[in-house]
């Protein structure tokens, strides 16, 4: 396995996890498409997740116990799998958010000093 590729996905995975957890924390239980739409909307079209990225990410979060997936029905009467934030997921979100803020603060200082 080429290591560079692996590293890139790792970063992406971490950010994706944070984004998904935050979305669920803000809007409550959502199905996969709703999560993708929300991220699309918030990023003004800059972040278009394809299924091959989104769903393995959701499965990983589920395997780690951060979200729980359950089949339900949309307001339009369509069967869809809804994802809910678990207590563990909420805790993970808090710590990841803190870590993210710390990281961005460092980055800002670093970039500002250099610029």
Residues that bind another protein (CB under 8 A): 31-33, 36-37, 48, 50-56, 59-60, 63-65, 78-81, 88, 92
Nearer to another protein, 28 or 56 (CB): 56
**What is the rounded distance in angstroms from the CA atom of residue 18 to the CA atom of residue 13?**
9
Nearer to another protein, 99 or 109 (CB): 99
DSSP state of 49: -
CB of 34 to another protein, least distance (A): 8
**What is the rounded distance in angstroms from the CA atom of residue 58 to the CA atom of residue 36?**
11
Cβ atoms of 58 and 67 within 8 Å: the answer is yes
CB of 104 to another protein, least distance (A): 24
């Amino acid at each position: 396995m080429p290591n560079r590729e692996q590293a890139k996905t790792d970063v992406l995975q971490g950010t994706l996890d944070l984004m998904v957890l935050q979305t669920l924390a803000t809007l409550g239980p959502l199905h996969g498409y709703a999560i993708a739409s929300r991220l699309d909307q918030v990023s003004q079209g800059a972040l278009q997740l394809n299924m091959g990225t989104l769903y393995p990410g959701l499965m990983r979060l589920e395997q780690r116990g951060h979200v729980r997936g359950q089949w339900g029905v949309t307001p339009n009467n369509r069967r869809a799998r809804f994802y809910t934030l678990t207590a563990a997921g909420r805790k993970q979100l808090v710590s990841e958010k803190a870590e993210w803020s710390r990281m961005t603060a460092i980055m800002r200082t670093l970039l500002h000093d250099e610029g």
